Copies of this chain bind each other. A is one copy, B any other.
Amino acid sequence: MPNYRLTLSYEGTRYRGWQKQGNTGNTLQEKLENTLSRLLGEIVEIAGCGRTDAGVHARRQVCSFRTNQTLDCTETLRRLRDVLPEDIGALSLEEAAPRFHARLSCTGKTYCYRIRTVETPDVFSRRFVLPCPGKLDTAAMRQAAEALCGKRDFSAFCSLKNRKKSAVRELREIRFEETPEELRLYFTGDGFLYNMVRILTGTLLEVGLGQRAPESMEAILASLDRAKAGPTAPALGLTLWEVYYDG
């Protein structure tokens, strides 16, 4: 069966996240599977690289799917753009290597969390940026971020207990980008646990607000206890920014 790689972006505001939940929810995976199945006249199952939560956006999300037919990628992409809602953008479609799988072949991801640090509202980015007006101690936040990077057990930064599966992930970098109005945190790693970026952000924000010492990160990690970390930051500020594959 021919194998395809579809790259998307979407605004997550009105969806219940990426992953389908029976046939009940308005999820991105269902929306795409239904759209592609209708378009191609066969049942299509889609694997997504990142399972974004409800309300989380994607600047770049890669999916893979197999079909019984060989597709004209240019034509299929054009038709797909015609029928997808305006909050889902089909960026590219190409035939993939037979063993390519969007999630299993992925070697890393970058998420971006955007924080607006001034009182004045920005109507144009309001669906993508968390308002958090006030002075943040970014030096303390950088120190804490440094301590969180590496190959670690991130159980304390995961909303779901998964007793069987490993919670070890390699958090390669937390990059800071600051403008007078906005702070952006770019998290790059080999993979992320459920709500991990949002809990990391909530914890770093507490450090930035002086409510938590930057030296306390080691103890939180060592505890493996979700209750020791900060709150889960709201979904709207989070965007799946980039996904990586070998070659």
Interface residues of A (CB under 8 A from B): 9-11, 57, 59, 81, 86-92, 120-124, 126, 128
Distance in Å: Cβ of A118 to nearest Cβ of chain B: 10
| B-chain residues with CB within 8 Å of residue A121 when the two chains form the complex | 9, 81, 86, 89-91
| B-chain residues with CB within 8 Å of residue A123 when the two chains form the complex | 9-11, 86-89
Partner of A124, one of B11, B81, B120: B11
State the copy count for this chain. Answer: 2
Q: How far is the CA of A121 from the CA of B11 in the complex (A)?
A: 12
| B-chain residues with CB within 8 Å of residue A89 when the two chains form the complex | 120-123
Q: How far is the CA of A81 from the CA of B90 in the complex (A)?
A: 36
| B-chain residues with CB within 8 Å of residue A124 when the two chains form the complex | 9, 11, 57, 59, 128
| B-chain residues with CB within 8 Å of residue A59 when the two chains form the complex | 124
Q: How far is the CA of A138 from the CA of B87 in the complex (A)?
A: 30
Q: List 18 A-B contacts (CB under 8 A).
A: A9-B121, A9-B122, A9-B124, A10-B123, A11-B124, A57-B124, A81-B121, A86-B121, A86-B123, A86-B126, A87-B126, A88-B123, A89-B122, A89-B123, A91-B120, A91-B121, A92-B120, A124-B128
Nearest to A85 among chain B residues (CB) is B123
Q: How far is the CA of A59 from the CA of B124 in the complex (A)?
A: 8
Nearest to A57 among chain B residues (CB) is B124
Nearest to A59 among chain B residues (CB) is B124
Q: How far is the CA of A166 from the CA of B197 in the complex (A)?
A: 59
Most chain B beta carbons < 10 A, residue from A121, A122, A128: A121
Q: How far is the CA of A225 from the CA of B88 in the complex (A)?
A: 42
| B-chain residues with CB within 8 Å of residue A11 when the two chains form the complex | 123-124
Distance in Å: Cβ of A114 to nearest Cβ of chain B: 11
Q: How far is the CA of A86 from the CA of B128 in the complex (A)?
A: 13
Q: Which 9 A-B pairs have the closest CB atoms?
A: A89-B121, A89-B123, A11-B123, A91-B120, A9-B123, A87-B123, A86-B126, A10-B123, A89-B122
